[in-house]
Amino acid sequence: MTTQEHSVIAENLSKGFVQGEEHITVLEQLNLTLNYGEVIAILGPSGSGKSTLLNILGLLSTPDEGTYVLDEEDTSALNAKERALLRLHKIAFVFQAFHLIDHKNVFKNVELPLIYQGVPPQERAERVKAIIERLGLSHRLYAKINTLSGGEKQRVAIARALVTEPKVLLCDEPTGSLDAERTQEVIALLREVTGEEQTTIVVTHDSDVARECDRCLRVESGRLVEDTRYRPSANTAQRVKDSSVVPVHAIEMNRPRWFVASIKEAFDASIHRMRRNLFTMFAVALGIASLVLTVGLTATISGQLSDAFDVFLAQRVTLEETSKTPMTQEQILELEQSAPYKNLKNLHGVKNVALMKQVVSGAIVTSAPVLGQANYFQGTTPVDASVYRATSSVFVAQGQNLIAGRLFDQGHSQRADQVAVVGEGLLQRLNITWSEGLYLYVKGVPISIIGVVSENPSLSETYASIYVPLGSKLTLKDAGSISTEPLKIILATDPGATNQVGQEAVYTISPDRPGKFTAVLPPEPKTLRNAVDTQQKNLLIAMSLVTLSIGAIGIMNTFLVAVIERRKEIGLRLAIGTDPRGILLQIAAESIMVSVIGTIAGIVLAVNIIAVVCLINQWTPIIGAETIGIGLLSGLLVGVLAGLYPAFKASRVEPVQTLSEG
């Protein structure tokens, strides 16, 4: 049985809004029946309600009262998501202002609704090319939008609407910005493309445009006041009522994954808006770079300290006398020649033994001229330094290397020569360099400096010190505070032997009185690693987080502005039938992409800076997976948090308002 079917049936539609305390009626008990195959004009003055009617027919708005049946499905009970889905598959819009997306070419603009429908790429391409060829734009298939004429833009907008094969094509003043010739061309085109299972509705102010349509419905004050047919009803298609009508719940079963479509659109938008987002990416890159630098350099420096621990501190035991009455120099010299002291060298795991006794601390030191060259030095600013009597083996035991001159030996000690070896840090403080014949005045007492040794960064207490032979008769009157530091016996050991050597050494050096000396063992590696100043580390991390926060604020501001700039684009996507969640996801994904690109740039920058610093200082860089992970996670978190609010604002854009802005 063949019966004539209707695409749209509206009964008793009413719509109004409240302005202040007044209720204004826009549509009042409007009844409407539209047939397949018809091109229908809706004519009326401004404020008559025709745009409101168009929005209801396009499921962008809902009536306060009445029913609206679209393609044999009552839309009254549909929720917002179902209306969007029905709009995506059965309704299409053509706007006066075209609302084409500038960064997409002709092909991609027409393709957009098919992406949201989930049409496979090959089928999309075939359908897009077919509709563009039908509209005579094959030669402009990949043209940029800003190169098109007004008429060509309108054709692209019509192609985008028709590519989904909608049941209802809604045209809002499609000829309003065109001249008379282009107007006739567009109306003829709309008549041509209106299929047997489609209704085209043209909202217009132009009575000439209305007369070119099959019917004209005149709306005034929210009521349908005239229904004029200009062409015979034979144009209306006869359809067989069968199962071809797909209800919205069935469409849902084959619904595309809007998630994937939104991610693709986010990627496309990010690529085309890359230049706009450069400064935002730069801010994120700086924040991530500073964070990764802080974590990476801290780990690297800790590693170097740990290495120093392994090569020196973990191989060093110090014996300190415990008596409240320090040993005299004569007693120290006797100890050096005693059998217990010599037996220390024979302990298993001991590589070297040295004696060291601080003479004074805080002695005032100045430079003196080379003998015979009175003007060689012009004098220096005095500095403080500690003076130690020591055996010649002390430098090996302390891990200090000779860098200039020579070391004193047993002969110097036996002769009580007034010579010394200094740490290079002392000469740096005095701002002088060593040369043969150099003398330093230690509170007025001249000492011949015969050599310079390197500093061991692990021995801060002996940095920039002066070492004289153990048997030196050096007397420093008023040279500084007389030291009460105990005598120290330094034992250099094999790795891992410190505990055993420490236990045995106190008995070896004093068999009768094991408590005369106590063994000071090196700290655990964890203790040394914690020597890195935690407060400074936290301060640097805090500064990094501040920089990251600035980057996050930059992202948020950038995308808030972008949402305002792209309101029409967002409104168009929603009008096409995009799920609001898809808009939220797209904007959020764009924010995350910007943040991730900045994050990767920041990590690369930080890694390269760490590599250069390590190369200069001959360190081994330590950049663990956790360091990179912290950077990536922080960047992702910044993108998510900064993009949520703009994305939420975008998903709440009202297409009715944005698309009517022209």
Which pLDDT score is estimated for 3? Answer: 36
Which pLDDT score is estimated for 254? Answer: 45
Which pLDDT score is estimated for 379? Answer: 56
In which element (H, E) is residue 95 found?
strand 91-95
> Strand locations in 508-569, DSSP E?
517-520
Residue ranges of domains in the chain, CATH in brackets: 2-256 (3.40.50.300), 271-307+531-659 (no CATH), 327-485 (no CATH)
Distance between CA 208 and CA 212 in Å, rounded? 7
Amino acid making up residue 413: S
For the chain, the 3-state helix, strand and coil shares in percent, each to the nearest 5, are 45, 25, 30
**Could you report how far apart the first and last alpha carbons of the chain are, in Å?**
46
Distance between CA 478 and CA 463 in Å, rounded? 22
Q: Which of 138-147, 237-246, 531-540 has the highest mean pLDDT?
A: 138-147
Instruction: Kindly report the pTM of this predicted structure.
Output: 0.64
Q: Which is nearest to 635 in space by CA: 543, 551, 553, 539?
A: 551
pLDDT tens per residue across span 63-121: 999 999 998 889 988 888 889 889 999 999 998 888 999 999 999 999 999 999 889 99
Which pLDDT score is estimated for 248? Answer: 61
Q: What is the mean pLDDT of residues 149-159?
A: 89
Instruction: Please answer whether residues 280 and 554 qualify as being in contact, where contact means their C-beta atoms are separated by less than 8 angstroms.
Output: yes
Distance of CA 401 to the CA centre of its chain: 46
pLDDT tens per residue across span 337-348: 999 999 999 998
Distance between CA 622 and CA 104 in Å, rounded? 45
Which pLDDT score is estimated for 143? Answer: 95
> Strand locations in 206-268, DSSP E?
215-220, 223-229, 239-240
Write out the two tokens for 394: 């002390």
CB atoms within 10 A of CB 266: 20
Which pLDDT score is estimated for 375? Answer: 40
Distance between CA 287 and CA 281 in Å, rounded? 10
Q: Which is nearest to 327 in space by CA: 114, 187, 200, 517?
A: 517
Q: 244 phi and psi, to 5 degrees? A: -70, -20
Residue with tokens 């809004």: 17
> Could you tell me which residues come within 8 angstroms of residue 120 by beta carbon, excluding any fewer than 6 positions away?
none
Which pLDDT score is estimated for 470? Answer: 92
Amino acid making up residue 20: G
pLDDT tens per residue across span 570-604: 989 988 888 888 899 999 999 899 889 999 999 99
Average pLDDT, the chain: 83
Distance between CA 108 and CA 95 in Å, rounded? 18
Beta bridge partners of 365: 383, 442
DSSP state of 242: S
Give the three-state DSSP class for 270.
helix
17, pLDDT greater than 90: no
224, pLDDT greater than 70: yes
Confidence of residue 42 (pLDDT cuts 50, 70, 90): very high
Which pLDDT score is estimated for 376? Answer: 41
Which pLDDT score is estimated for 156? Answer: 93
Which pLDDT score is estimated for 118? Answer: 87
Higher pLDDT, 392 or 368: 392
Give the three-state DSSP class for 558.
helix
Q: Are strands 488-493 and 316-321 parallel, antiparallel or unpaired?
A: antiparallel
pLDDT tens per residue across span 352-383: 999 999 888 877 888 765 544 444 444 567 88
Distance between CA 379 and CA 382 in Å, rounded? 9
- Taking each helix axis as running N to C, give the angle between helix 106-117 and helix 567-576, from 0 to 180 degrees, rounded to the nearest 10: 50
> Could you tell me which residues come within 8 angstroms of residue 342 by beta carbon, excluding any fewer than 6 positions away?
none
Torsion of CA 103, 109, 114, 116, to 10 degrees: 40
Which pLDDT score is estimated for 339? Answer: 92
